[in-house]
Amino acid sequence: MLTFPEISPNIIEIGPLQIRWYGLMYILGFLASYFLIAKQARARRLGLQGAQLQNMMFFLAIGLILGARFGYVLFYQYPNLGDYLRHPLEIIAVWHGGMSFHGGLMGALLGGILFCRLNRLPLWEVGDTVIVTAPIGLGLGRLGNFINGELFGRPGSVPWAMVFPGAGPVPRHPSQLYEAALEGVLLFVILWGIKDRPARPGSMVCVFLGGYGILRFFVEFFRQPDPQLSLLWGLFSMGQILCLAMILSSVILWVLLPHKAEE
162 DSSP β-pair partners: 2, 172
In-domain check, residue 202 = yes
DSSP per-residue codes, 193-210: HHTTS---TTHHHHHHHH
In-domain check, residue 29 = yes
In-domain check, residue 1 = no
Model confidence pLDDT, tens digit, residues 10-37: 888 777 777 888 889 989 999 999 999 9
Does 261 score more than 60 pLDDT? no
Q: Which of 113, 118, 62, 116 is nearest to 92 (CA)?
A: 62
Tell me the average pLDDT of the chain.
90
Model confidence pLDDT, tens digit, residues 83-132: 778 878 877 777 667 789 999 999 999 999 999 999 999 999 999 999 99
How does residue 3 score in pLDDT terms, banded at 50, 70 and 90? confident
In-domain check, residue 150 = yes
pTM of the model: 0.90
Model confidence pLDDT, tens digit, residues 53-76: 999 999 999 999 999 998 888 888
Model confidence pLDDT, tens digit, residues 227-240: 777 787 778 999 99
In-domain check, residue 70 = yes
In-domain check, residue 40 = yes
* Number of structural domains in the chain: 1
In-domain check, residue 22 = yes
Q: What is the pLDDT of residue 186?
A: 98
Q: Which of 30, 29, 49 is nearest to 38 (CA)?
A: 49
Range of the domain at 33: 10-256
In-domain check, residue 242 = yes
Q: What is the pLDDT of residue 260?
A: 59
Does 191 score more than 80 pLDDT? yes
Cβ atoms 57, 43 nearer than 8 A: no
Model confidence pLDDT, tens digit, residues 137-180: 999 999 999 998 889 999 999 999 999 988 889 999 999 999 99
